[in-house]
Amino acid sequence: MTAFEEALRARCPEMPVRRDVPLKDYTTLRVGGPADYFLEPDNENSLCGALAAAKETGTPVLLLGNGSNLLVRDGGFRGAAVRLGKAFSAITSLQNGLYAQAGALLSALSRAALEARMTGLEFAQGIPGSVGGGVYMNAGAYGREMGQVVSSARIWDGTAVRDVDAAEMSFAYRHSKAMDSGWLILGAAFRLEPGDPVKIEEKMRDFAARRKEKQPLEYPSAGSFFKRPAGYFAGALIEQGGLKGCQVGGAQVSEKHAGFLVNRGGATAEDFLRLMEYVQAVVREKSGVMLEPEVRIVGSEK
């Protein structure tokens, strides 16, 4: 038994620990090597116990929700992958909004807002991620971002659980203070406005139709692969570079939307990394713009 397993057993004796679990099964790109440890806590106390055990033993932690916006290298993750699934998917009503645990899907959150006759989360209905990941990287679509509707976030700051307000989260384009501070998102409260459910649903249907028309939903992807450069659109720069359909192994620049890199079948993380680097080099040569990945890249080389 390793030091981490001993520390975990001391705090959470009933929590199962799986070893060498392939993370490709838990990411929307469907690539990624194994995690040394794989945990699925069933409540916040057991989650905090696992995080404390990891801190005590110097074990890196990868918090997983829906596994979107994430590329795990083929060598896997040398640490503990902690998945927040159904046990962390509750959505509850507040006086002027909603509270959602980190494992709740953004699509479910958007639907809950509709059912509560609240407007402000229509843009999130098609984002293929969870609340935790969406708040962590300030996900957005159609000119709206999570930071515009989050009133506070519940975090693990490395020592304890606490609630921080939106100002302390320092939201910016595809960024939050959590990314710099190592905070883990456990949930968030959303400040919403009363709305007409007919108009809310119409907007959601419009966004869904636009996504279906323009995005390669038929293939595994991590969503938009690159950040939007100031003054440009990443997809347009990639298309102008003649890169639509460009393929390395099973990874391909989508023929439908060049801002997406998709898994056409059997892709490895290395395929995506090589394709990413090639796209970056071509776009920089042709436009002078260096594209930055929006996806989070973690793990070890093989």
- Please choose, from the candidates 178, 184, 175, the residue with its C-alpha nearest in 3D space to the C-alpha of residue 292: 175
Known catalytic residue at 274 = no
Domains along the chain? 3-83 (3.30.43.10), 88-199 (3.30.465.10), 217-298 (3.90.78.10)
Closest by alpha carbon to 105, among 124, 83, 131, 133?
Answer: 131
Q: Quick: pLDDT tens for 187-225.
A: 999 999 999 999 999 999 999 999 989 899 999 999 899
Whether 294 is catalytic is yes
For the record, the structure tokens of 56 come out as: 């005590």
User: Can you give the pTM of this predicted structure?
Assistant: 0.90
- Catalytic-labelled residue, pool 89, 130, 152, 224: 224
pLDDT of residue 302: 72
- Please tell me the distance from the alpha carbon of residue 162 to that of residue 61, in angstroms, as a whole number: 18
Looking at residue 191, its pLDDT comes to: 97
Judge residue 264's burial from the number of C-beta atoms within 10 Å of its C-beta, 0-12 exposed, 13-18 middle, 19 or more buried. Answer: middle
Q: Which element (helix H / strand E) includes 136?
A: helix 131-136
Report the distance separating Cα 232 and Cα 217, nearest Å. Answer: 23
Distance CA 172, CA 299 (A): 25
Q: Which of 174, 211, 274, 284 is catalytic?
A: 174
Q: Which helix (H) or strand (E) holds 98?
A: strand 97-101
Q: What is the pLDDT of residues 253-269, one digit of tens each?
A: 999 999 999 999 999 99
- The pLDDT tens digits of the residues spanning 92-134 come to 999 999 999 999 999 999 999 999 999 999 999 999 899 999 9
| Annotated catalytic residue 270 | no
